[in-house]
A and B are shown apart, each in its own frame.
Chain A
Amino acid sequence: MIPEVFGRVGILFTLAIAFPMLPIMVSFLLYQLKIRPENPNPIKLATYECGVEAEGSSWGQFNARYYLFALGFVIFDVEVIFLYPWAVEHQELALTVLWKAVLFIGILLLGLVYAWRKRALEWR
């Protein structure tokens, strides 16, 4: 049952790749038929920077602010995924399990409060 259903997803995956390939292929074909222009020159191929020359490469260091949010995301997303098995079985389980789930999230919410107090959620 499971391989059958995921096999269907796999077939849709190949179509999902083929679908956006189609217009790009047509565009390439138009180039082969000399309908679409292809006249590169150094200025055209330069990195766009609103009319001035681009200063340096952008492959380098970046504002650390974004990574703090990414760390918070990793913690919370993993936590929520752990809660899904509990959510599915919740109605059959005893009520004590609910308090354990509250405790589990509570510990992580303490982390959120800590990050908040440390001003990691402000955008400076």
Chain B
Amino acid sequence: MSSDTRPATPMSRQIAEHRSLLDRALGLPKLVLVALSVALIGFVISQILIGYMVVSGQLDGKWYDIRDFGNAMVSLSDAINSSGMDSRIASTLTYLIPTLLGATGIVSVVGGWLLIGPWAERRLLAKFQIRQGPNRTGPFGLLQSLADALKLMQKEIIIPRGADRFLYFAPPIAVFIPAILGWAPIPWSPKMSYADLDVGVLFVIAISSLGVLAVFMAGWASNNHYSLLGAMRTIAMMISYEIPISVSLLAVVLLTGSTKLSEIVMWQSEQGVWLIMLIPFAALAFLFASTAEINRTPNDIGEAESEIVAGFYTEYSGMKAGLFMAVELGNAILVGALMSTFFLGGYTFFGLETWIPGYLILATKIGLVYFLFVWIRATLPRFRLDQLMGFAWKFLIPVSIALMFLTAIESSILVRWDAPSFLSLGLIALVNVAAAVGLTFVWMRVLFRDTDLSAPPAPILTRKMGGLQAAKVLRG
């Protein structure tokens, strides 16, 4: 912004004065710049060190191998076991220390994201709409979310007279459980997954359906028409879109032959291909269905402001409403992590994970998927409820089940046919893309057989008044 081209108004002078006062008092922008450059220099130096040590083979499995914090945990367990402690205490310690560290790590990742996430989202949305976004609180407005949280904590918490008091208390807490528990099976590096469940995919599906309970508790307990309507809409949408999610994950399991998330990532890494290239329809169905699952635009009819105030959390105020708003962002990066793990190769990037820590690669992928979510939010308007339900039941479910069986046939051929993997996988990708596009077109023909798709209905003015003809006449 060049201030010299504009006349200085009292307002702008005041703002400039305020900015400079804040800058002088805190020195924050410089501090942030210094911190960023220190972090960048540290990253480059550590990368050079890692590169040197990988080449000379000194790094494998040592505790200072920062590419994978699992190594440090293994070394710690070895040290505890060999220290001559009582074996019962030693086994308890070797279990508890990594577990507590890991759980704290997951919670602090989510908590840290909740502190910068709202700022990032508003800022990105502002950039999409060609405006500034929050840029007053702290450097680049970075402290905006912290200020919002502080403000919400100071707000009065109103419990409406008609509400069911216990059920009214539970939902803001219950809604966070899937957002945090869903991180448990996600692998961040080969040895760095918090709880590498054998039934990881089933666990993810089970956990993601817990959100429905919290939403319905909120809507029912508030005893408000808007709340109940919002809860009902959200539940109908969430349960409808859970089936496409399950079916597309079934296609993933059919190809990889495992429900363990780390093995799904390893399969993609070994075959040198991401599953989004092999089963693009399942990946896109998962992406769209998960925006419905986490109540994000374009599928946020459960909290459509223009229709039903704030949906299922209309009656919530203060920090409790803030928790409902925060959990949406937490869910967004959880879905980003699941999307990256299932379809985008997880913590691997075609061999780059040897040099760059896997968790940084995964974080980058999560950030890109999140950016896609914000992009979708900035681009698409909100869908109507009947459109959403029709899309799930009449299009996504039949087509993804059909393509899932196609994947099953391909998967059994892949095992039995002894061809080079690039040939067989390339054929699978081609067949799947062709089948997805073809089936989509055929199914649309079937669905809209009564409608003439080639000629969109003209606007009523054009039809009644002959707008085009009139324009031609006017132009001469």
Residue ranges of A at the interface with B (Cβ–Cβ < 8 Å): 2, 4-9, 11-13, 15-17, 19-21, 23-24, 26-27, 30, 35-40, 42, 44-50, 54, 57-59, 62-63, 66, 69-70, 72-73, 76-77, 80-81, 83-84, 87-91, 95, 98, 101-102, 105, 109, 112, 116, 121-123
In the complex, A8→B393 CA distance in Å?
37
Closest A residue to B387 by CB, please name it: A123
Question: How far, in whole Å, are A57 and B250 apart by their CA atoms in the complex?
Answer: 43
The interface of chain B, by Cβ under 8 A from chain A, is 95, 99-100, 102-104, 106-107, 110-111, 149, 152-162, 172-173, 175-177, 179-181, 183-184, 194-198, 201-203, 205, 220, 222-228, 232, 235-236, 239-240, 242-243, 246-247, 250, 253-254, 257-259, 309, 314-315, 318-320, 322-323, 385-386, 389-390, 393-394, 397-398, 401, 405, 408-409, 411-412, 414-415
**Cβ–Cβ < 8 Å partners of B183 in chain A:** 12
CB pair A15–B385 under 8 Å, yes or no, is no
Q: Which residues of B contact A24 (CB under 8 A)?
A: 172-173, 319-320, 323
CB-based closest 5 A-B pairs: A123-B386, A16-B180, A73-B239, A80-B246, A8-B195
Partner of A15, one of B156, B180, B235: B180
B393 lies within 8 A of A72 (CB): yes
A-B contact pairs, 15 of them (CB 8 A): A8-B194, A9-B184, A15-B104, A19-B176, A20-B175, A20-B323, A27-B152, A30-B154, A36-B153, A36-B156, A48-B315, A101-B408, A121-B390, A121-B394, A122-B386
Shortest CB-to-CB span from A48 to chain B, Å, is: 6
* A91/B412 in contact, CB under 8 A: yes
Q: Which of B102, B110, B394 interacts with A19 by CB under 8 Å? A: B110
Contact flag A112-B160 (CB < 8 Å), given A54-B225, A58-B223, A91-B415: no
Q: Which residues of the partner chain A approach B158 to less than 8 Å between Cβ atoms?
A: 40, 44-45
Determine whether the beta carbon of B173 is less than 8 Å from that of A17.
yes
- Please indicate the chain A residues that have their CB under 8 angstroms from the CB of B195 in the complex: 5-6, 8-9, 12
A15 to B232, CA, bound (A): 29
Q: Cβ of A62 and Cβ of B232 under 8 Å apart?
A: yes
Task: Verify A12–B184 contact, CB threshold 8 A.
Answer: yes
Q: Is the CB of A69 within 8 A of B236?
A: yes
In the complex, what's the smallest C-beta–C-beta distance from A26 to chain B, in angstroms? 5
From A83, which residue of chain B is reached at the shortest CB distance?
Answer: B250
Contact (Cβ within 8 A) B314 A48? yes
Supplied contacts A24-B320, A47-B162, 16 more A-B pairs, CB within 8 Å: A8-B103, A9-B195, A12-B180, A15-B104, A23-B149, A24-B323, A40-B158, A45-B159, A54-B225, A73-B240, A81-B202, A84-B253, A84-B259, A91-B415, A112-B393, A121-B390
- Is A12 a contact of B181 with CB atoms below 8 Å? yes
By beta carbon, the residue of chain A nearest B104 is A15
The reply to whether B180 and A19 form a contact with Cβ atoms under 8 Å apart is: yes
B440 → chain A closest CB, angstroms: 18
The answer to whether A9 and B153 have CB atoms under 8 Å apart is no
* B181 & A9 in contact (Cβ 8 Å cutoff): yes
| B220, B393, B414, most chain A CB atoms within 10 A | B393
User: Closest CB-CB distance, A99 to chain B, in whole Å?
Assistant: 10
A109 touching B398 by the CB < 8 A rule? yes
Considering the complex, give the chain B residue whose CB is closest to the CB of A17: B173
Q: Which of B203, B239, B259, B322 has the largest count of A CB atoms less than 10 A from its CB?
A: B239
B223 touches A47 (CB 8 A): yes
Q: B161 to nearest A CB, angstroms?
A: 4
Residue from B389, B408, B409, B414 in contact with A123 in the complex, judged by beta carbons closer than 8 Å? B389
Pick from B184, B225, B250: contact of A8, CB below 8 A. Answer: B184
Shortest Cβ distance from residue A56 to the other chain B in the assembled complex, whole angstroms:
9
Which one, B153, B156, B184, contacts A23 given CB within 8 A? Answer: B153
- Are B322 and A98 in contact, with the CB atoms below 8 A? no
Q: Is the CB of B160 within 8 A of A27?
A: no
When C-beta atoms are compared, the residue in chain B nearest to A21 turns out to be B173
Please tell me if the beta carbons of A19 and B232 are within 8 angstroms of each other in the complex: no
The minimal Cβ–Cβ distance linking A95 to chain B, given in whole angstroms, is: 6
A11 adjacent to B103 (CB under 8 Å): yes
Closest to B389 in A: A123
**Nearest B-chain residue to A72, judged by Cβ:** B393
Contact of A80 among B111, B247, B318, B319 (CB under 8 A): B247
Q: Is the CB of A47 within 8 A of B160?
A: yes
The answer to whether B224 and A47 have CB atoms under 8 Å apart is yes
* Nearest residue, chain A, Cβ from B394: A121
